[in-house]
Amino acid sequence: MLCPICQQKTLSQTSHKCSDYLSKHTFTLLNCHACGCYITQGISQNPTTDYYGTAYYNSKKGKFSPLIEKIFRFNHKRNAQFFYKNFQPKRVLEMGCGRAYILRELKQLGVQVYCLESAGAAEWILKNEDVNVLTTEQENIWPTEFFQLIVFWHVFEHLPDPITALEQATQVLEKDGVLCISVPNISSYQAQLALATWFHLDVPRHLFHFSKKGLIELLERHDYEILKVTSGDAIQNLFGWFQSLANLFTPYAPNTLYRFLQGGSAWRKVAKFPLLIQLLTAIIWVPIGLLGYIIEELTAHYGTVTIFAKKKV
C-alpha cells in the first residue's frame, strides 16, 4: 500500500501494539519512511459508534471538569483572537468544530462563521444554536473561493480521508486565503519516547499521525505557501509530556490522569489504583516532562504543531 500522504513509499507494518484507553481494543500502526507519518490499522467498521460518545466527549456542558474547561475555553478564545488580528477574515470555515469555542468568539468579533461536521457527530454538536453547522453529506454547500480562512483544529488526524478533505477545503478557500492545520506531531520527542503510550496518539480516533515534515510537504504539493510553523498549544504540549511519562508507569491503564481531570462520568469510571500510581510518580515525571517540553520548544520538535499556509492558485 502506497503512502496516501506523500505517495512516495510503500507503508510498512510496525511492531507497535497500541491500546485505546476507552475501549481497550488494540491497534497496529503502518509507517512511511519517506514522510515519517503513520496510519492506524484495524479500525472498526463503525468508529463513530464504537469509539466516540459520552466516554470521549464526557458531556454536552464540557469535556473537562469546570476549572480545566475554563482553561480550555480560554485557549480557544486566544486562538480566535489571533486569527482575527492576523488575517481579518470576513468568513471562516472550521472543519469539525466540536463545541465551537473558536467560532463563537469569532462570531462575537463580527465574522461570519460556518462549520462542517460529520453526519455521525453528537446531536448537540449538529444542533449548535450559535454556529451554522452543516454536514459532510450535503454537497456543493458553498461557492468556490468563498472563505478567507479555513481551520482544521485537531480534526485533520481524525478524518478517514484527509487528502480529499484538504482538496475540498482548497476549492472553497479564496486565492491568498489562509489554511490553518493543527495536529499532534508524531516526529516530536515525546512521541518518539514511547510511541505506543504517547498521550496524543489516541488510537483509533486518530486515524492519521502526521510528522511536521510530512504535513508541510503535503501542503506544498497542493500549492500552498507555508507562512508559519509553530507550536500547537503550550498546555497540550506540556500535558502530552506529563501524561505520556505517567503512562510508562501504568501501560495497562493509559491516560488515567487525563480521565481524572475530565471529571464527571469519565472520572467515575477511572481505575483508582493506576491513578494513585500516576499521582505518586509525579515527583519523577513532572521534572522530566518540564525538561522535555523546554527542549522541544527550543528545537521546534513540538508535541503538537500548527501550520499556517496561503493558497497560491
pTM of the prediction? Answer: 0.93
Residues 211, 186 contacting (CB under 8 angstroms): yes
Burial letters for 43-61: b for 16+ Cβ neighbours within 10 Å, e otherwise? beeebeeebbeeeebbeee
121: Cα separation from own chain's centroid: 16
Grid-cell match 503550550, residue found:
234
Position 300 scores a pLDDT of 94
Position 14 scores a pLDDT of 92
Position 46 scores a pLDDT of 57
pLDDT tens for the chain, residues 1 to 313:
899 999 988 999 998 889 999 888 999 999 999 999 999 997 755 565 568 766 677 666 667 777 888 888 888 899 999 999 999 999 999 998 887 889 999 999 999 999 988 766 666 667 777 788 877 766 568 889 999 999 999 999 999 999 999 999 999 999 999 999 999 999 999 999 989 999 999 999 999 999 999 999 999 999 999 999 999 888 999 999 999 999 999 999 999 999 888 887 767 778 899 999 999 999 999 999 999 999 999 999 999 999 999 999 7
Measured in residues, the chain has a length of: 313
Position 123 scores a pLDDT of 67
